[in-house]
Structure 1
């Protein structure tokens, strides 16, 4: 094995550690032979590094090549936490995974690597199934079929469509190290929203987003991007959305006449 085969799963947590074992189980059951787990916790009050390490050691298989458990010394926000995880990873492929989500089935990582081996894409999204809090029943799936053609098509057309709102799932997004080398890390001008400004930046700069025709993640209802937020978090989230418009859309909108942004 060399690092060109290694897949780094970036597990991000913040005060949702009650789901960590479920998340880890979905990684540890993967059939792919070369996996690295990077856990980066954004200063959770109940973080116990030794307990997580003990769980991994007790349940790991031969395909777990390496794991790193990090906790930030203060609450940095989703974007900086994700960049910290990327900095700790050594793989050639990356998969973003929230601690309260799980990988859909044991063949997901193998399918993702197979996709990249057969295409020239540097980043790709697949289907996400949104479940209830107990992961008992699927509530909806994304992206809807009417948007898939924009994900899979010309990057500028995709950018135009994204200016009207994000439709590409951020959960379970995968990408190659070359994407980071070519386009840089996630934009730390944002605190909570990592995916929407990233999609806008990449597509506007000509980076095509691949489409993997399978379910990647079971996404648990709740979290930063849904309604279960306190007032402070809600303000930070809305501030990020306003910044997206001012940084990623409005400066370029004059040259893209057929875009209608949804207020």
Structure 2
């Protein structure tokens, strides 16, 4: 078989017993045939690994290669992704979490879209959903039709500058990689155990690698209490992930900021930290917007600088 046609699906699991069989069935049901399956488990304490081994015994003939990679010590999301990627043999890599679902043509759609194009990182649309009893309830689709990645004339440098201001990629589950990118710029940063995606997008765009987008729905993203988007009724207005990732921003993002940009970022972080216990209802969202924007002096200074004086990227240091 020509390995340029081989797609390695790296299934990332951690205590995924409740949902992983449904994810595995969606992988086996792909219309694309040349697939390798690597299951990378991060020291699950439930019976995820046992379930996966049993499932593979029945379905291993479906794949070019199928195996499980385990560890005796929990290493976090980036480490778990890296273990699976390093075992993969395919020219293309599709990451999928053990509670999400690939639509039947997901791999075929991604592979066909990349033909004849210089693509290293490709995103597509995801459908958020939750289960209410036995019924699947579809929620929003991400990204929206006006997302930055759909802009014409976009460059990697422009993306890098925008991502320095905020992580705008809320549809990471759709990502499809050319395996060569990991040789070119390295793997996920394992220093930040609960965050693999944002550091990688910054590293890629800083190195001139474009983030591409395919306008097709490829992944169903499950909402439950342990998911990134959250499923609890008492969802907070400020995500725990934002507050948790301040160390990453301090080490990797803030050094690129001007004094003005740093003061603005610290102001917003202070407001978010102050409001972190508020529930995400309509009134609290309005309070949050009012404080981070309309009472933010740095927001108005930046607006005046851009609209009246034409100053671009006031928040970043010159030369970044």
TM-score interval, normalised by the smaller of the two chains? 0.7 to 0.9
Q: Give the C-alpha shift of residue 27 in structure 1.
A: 0.5
The question of 1:11 aligning with 2:11 is answered: yes
Q: Distance in 1 between matches of 2:27 and 2:141?
A: 21
Against the structure 1 CA distance between its residues 53 and 143, is the aligned structure 2 distance closer, same or farther, given a 3 Å change threshold? Answer: same
After TM superposition, the score normalised by the length of structure 2 is 0.72
- Alpha-carbon spacing, 1:235–1:41, altered in 2? closer, same or farther (3 Å): farther
Give the structure, 1 or 2, with the largest relative contact order (CA under 8 Å, sep 6 or more): 1
Contact 1:164 1:259 (8 Å CA) reproduced: no
Matched, 1:127 2:125: yes
Q: 1:258 aligns with which of 313, 316, 320?
A: 313
Structure-2 residue corresponding to 1:111: 109
Deviation at 1:75, TM superposition (A): 1.1
Match of 2:31? Answer: 31
Give the distance between the partners of 2:36 and 2:187, measured in 1 at CA: 19
What TM-score, normalized to structure 1?
0.87
1:94-123 CA distance string (max 9 Å, x none): 01100000102x111111111221310111
* Displacement after TM superposition at 1:153 (Å): 2.1
Q: Residue 210 of structure 1: SS of its match in structure 2?
A: strand
**1:48: Cα distance to partner?**
5.2
**Residues 152 and 211 in structure 1, CA contact (< 8 A), matched pair in contact too:** no
* Correspondence 1:145 to 2:200: no
2:183: which partner in 1? 181
| SS of corresponding position for 1:158 | helix
Once the two structures are TM-superposed, the CA of residue 210 in structure 1 deviates from its matched residue by: 0.9
- 1:32-66 Cα deviation digits (max 9, x unpaired): 1210111111111123545422323324554x111
| Structure-2 change in CA distance of 1:151 and 1:206 (3 Å) | farther
Alignment of 1:83-232 (within 5 A): 83-104=82-103, 106-133=104-131, 136-147=136-147, 148-150=149-151, 153-168=154-169, 169-222=171-224, 223-227=226-230
Unaligned runs of 5+ in 2: 233-237, 262-311
Looking at structure 1, the residues matched to 114 and 20 of structure 2 have their Cα atoms a distance apart, in angstroms, of 28
Give ranges in structure 1 of 5+ residues lacking alignment.
Answer: none
- Structure 2: distance between partners of 1:51 and 1:225: 24
Partners of 2:252 and 2:152 lie apart in 1 by 18
Instruction: Classify 1:144/1:23 alpha carbon distance in 2 versus 1 (closer, same or farther; 3 Å).
Output: same
Q: Is the 8 A contact 1:151 1:209 kept in 2?
A: no
